[in-house]
């Protein structure tokens, strides 16, 4: 094993397991240099200057977007690679039918072959990072090894990164080891130099998670969640497994603080699949006078029962890693104002005056751009100027609506949990679960309807339980069981659970609900339900607003729209129950009995409604 001196380790590094692991990876990947990231502004400038000089990053116009950069990836490395993402649990059944599984011993052999010499000629960056406030009771720490300085810069924005984290890791500390390589060495086995490219990546790609040892190995991709291993890999896949073992939850949820005109605050966590308005809700501007909304997180929440028996949550991230297209001043002014500077943009278009642009950013389309591939673009080009999955990485502290609660070490007490999906039919605008068990059933049956023939048969349901389908690190049925266990532990202190649907349509295909800021009307009703002050009536699928209990003052709705928004059609729902039963069947005897009971109870209520 290499000594701490040979590994260039700072003096505060005393964890023997860390040094042993690092020595092993250095021997395997054979980097030219080892650099320990300290997280300072000086380091940020040095790395960004290096990438500018290498032609990897383009500085934007400092008068328009100070200290911000544009990066273009390889066209073959533009998104998460779900088909190359694996859960390598010891037993295949523990990964479950919704995950790709590989035998951990065989996967280890394959990975070590791929990683052998993968960093020749490159620098290995040692990135110590904390998910959540340093030393917080819900926080966790990890070490990422990477040969991508682009990943390092993004990790500095997205996590608390640097030597302060190293000081927290002693020989008693649990930490998550993560190894990442773009898989393109700059020297061959004989020491001959290989020419570098602006965006190195390898056609062979793997993103592998070993739940029992809490390890993450990522090879071949330099993009997004494939390279920022703190995000989906640690915060959700490994995090969800850790939560199962330790009695907490790692969730694909936003966190939002709402304050009513009387000054009472409410905290909600909400899970939405992609393309369902998650970021817009996290940064909502209420249209109801006197109400304010503050952002705590837009993507990930870690929730843990507190000493008082309530459920507390943190946003473990320090930045936003958002999809650019569709984000604009008309749809999310808060997000746009967050990106005033200190932002890394990836695969968006470049304007002639040195700023960025993407579809949906402005109503007026520029007459000329350099597109995400680096080619000239005009509105007549017949192709998007920005890649559909182009991204922005920006510090969370720049968000104009950021709540001071984001800084709370112990998190915030959760009053309500919201599940949503994109449903043109069936699902009402809002419904409250009868109890925690029914709420878990709501989350387990979350789905969106296909919206275009290219994505599949229009109207078919795309299942995404808890919005965690790509991110749950173990058997989804066991995950539902874990939620049920958490509910039993919380008892009367459990948050109320709701389901929302902003996307119901009328017979002509038009949306019935205006959405965006008007969604605050639904949030207001939810807050009044937390206080038991909003009236409901019992529908077969849950408690829905009684007539007149939803605040519609100042909102003009077409005649009959509200009736349609809350219509529950028993026959269509019974057909959906059949589809749910078929979906549940893939989990076999791992399916919690309670899920079957909830489905049976829903059927009974629907059949009673038809009488």
- DSSP per-residue letters across 404-459: GGGG-TT-EE--EEEEE---SSSS-SEEE-SSHHHHHHHHHT-EEE--SGGGSSTT
Q: Which residue has the tokens 């339900």?
A: 529
Q: Who's near 511: CB < 8 A, 6+ residues apart?
A: 502, 503, 504, 505
Q: Say how far apart CA 368 and CA 77 lie, in whole Å.
A: 25
CB of 83 within 8 A of CB of 358? Answer: no
DSSP β-bridge partners for residue 412: 313
**What radius of gyration do the chain's Cα atoms show?**
24
Strand order in the sheet with 349-351: 356-357, 349-351, 369-370, 376-377
Q: Point out the catalytic residue in the list 276, 399, 472, 527.
A: 276
**276 noted as active-site residue:** yes
The DSSP call for residue 9 is -
Cα–Cα distance measured from residue 65 to residue 403, given in angstroms and rounded to the nearest whole number: 24
Half-sphere exposure of 188 (CA within 13 A, CB side): 5
Torsion of CA 605, 529, 424, 541, to 10 degrees: -10
Q: Do 565 and 74 contact (CB within 8 A), yes or no?
A: no
Residue 295: DSSP 8-state: E
- Contact yes or no for 398/322 (Cβ under 8 A): no
Q: Are the C-beta atoms of residues 287 and 305 closer than 8 Å to each other?
A: no
Closest alpha carbon to 564 in 578, 544, 538: 544
Task: List, by residue number, the catalytic residues.
Answer: 276
């Amino acid at each position: 094993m290499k000594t701490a001196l040979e590994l260039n380790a700072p003096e505060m590094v005393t964890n023997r397991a860390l040094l042993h692991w690092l020595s092993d990876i250095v021997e395997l990947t054979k980097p030219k240099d080892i650099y320990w990231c300290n997280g300072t502004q000086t380091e940020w400038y040095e790395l960004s200057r290096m990438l500018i000089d290498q032609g990897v990053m383009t500085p934007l116009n400092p008068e328009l977007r100070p200290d911000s950069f544009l990066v273009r990836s390889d066209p073959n490395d533009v998104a998460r690679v779900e088909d190359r993402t694996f859960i390598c649990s010891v037993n295949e059944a523990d990964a479950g039918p919704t995950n790709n599984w590989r035998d951990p011993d065989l996967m280890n052999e394959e990975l070590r072959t791929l990683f052998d010499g993968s960093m020749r000629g490159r620098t290995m960056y040692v990135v110590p990072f904390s998910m959540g406030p340093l030393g917080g009771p819900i926080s966790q720490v990890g070490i990422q090894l990477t040969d991508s300085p682009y990943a390092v810069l993004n990790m500095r924005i997205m996590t608390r990164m640097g030597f302060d984290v190293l000081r927290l890791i002693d020989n008693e500390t649990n930490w998550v080891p993560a190894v990442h390589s773009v898989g393109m060495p700059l020297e061959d086995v004989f020491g001959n130099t290989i020419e570098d490219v602006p965006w190195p990546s390898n056609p062979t790609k793997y993103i592998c998670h070993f739940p029992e040892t809490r390890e993450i190995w990522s090879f071949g991709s330099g993009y997004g969640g494939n390279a920022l291993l703190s995000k989906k890999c640690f915060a959700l896949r490994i995090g969800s497994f850790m939560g199962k073992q330790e009695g907490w939850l790692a969730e694909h949820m936003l966190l939002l603080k709402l304050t009513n005109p009387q000054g009472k605050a409410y905290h909600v966590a909400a899970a939405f699949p992609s393309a369902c308005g998650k970021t817009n809700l996290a940064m909502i501007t209420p249209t109801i006078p006197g109400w304010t909304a503050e952002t705590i997180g837009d993507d990930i929440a870690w929730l843990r029962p507190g000493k008082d028996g309530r459920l507390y949550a943190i946003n473990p991230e320090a930045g936003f890693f958002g999809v650019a297209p569709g984000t604009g001043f008309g749809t999310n002014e808060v997000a746009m104002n967050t990106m005033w500077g200190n932002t890394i943009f990836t695969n968006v278009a470049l304007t002639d005056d040195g700023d960025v642009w993407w579809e949906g950013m402005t109503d007026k389309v520029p007459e000329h751009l350099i597109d995400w591939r680096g080619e000239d673009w005009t509105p007549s080009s017949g192709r998007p100027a920005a890649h559909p999955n182009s991204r922005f990485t920006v510090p969370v502290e720049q968000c104009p609506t950021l709540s001071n609660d984001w800084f709370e070490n112990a998190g915030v007490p959760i009053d309500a949990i919201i599940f949503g999906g994109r449903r043109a039919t069936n699902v009402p605008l809002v419904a409250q679960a009868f109890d925690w068990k029914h709420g878990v059933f709501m989350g387990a049956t979350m789905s969106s309807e296909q919206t275009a023939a290219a994505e599949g048969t229009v109207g078919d349901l795309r299942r995404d339980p808890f919005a965690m389908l790509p991110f749950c690190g173990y058997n989804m049925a066991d995950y539902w069981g874990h939620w049920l266990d958490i509910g039993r532990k919380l008892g009367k202190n459990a948050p109320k659970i709701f389901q929302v649907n902003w996307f119901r349509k009328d017979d002509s295909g038009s949306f019935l609900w205006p959405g965006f800021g008007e969604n605050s009307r639904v949030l207001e009703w939810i807050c009044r339900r937390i206080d038991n002050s909003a009236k409901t009536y019992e529908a077969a699928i849950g408690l829905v607003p009684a007539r007149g209990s939803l605040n519609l003052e100042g909102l003009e709705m077409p005649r009959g729209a509200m009736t349609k928004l809350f219509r529950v059609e028993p026959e269509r729902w019974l057909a959906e129950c059949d589809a749910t039963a078929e979906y549940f069947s893939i989990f076999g005897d791992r399916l919690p009995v309670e899920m079957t009971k909830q489905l049976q109870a829903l059927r009974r209520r629907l059949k009673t409604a038809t009488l």
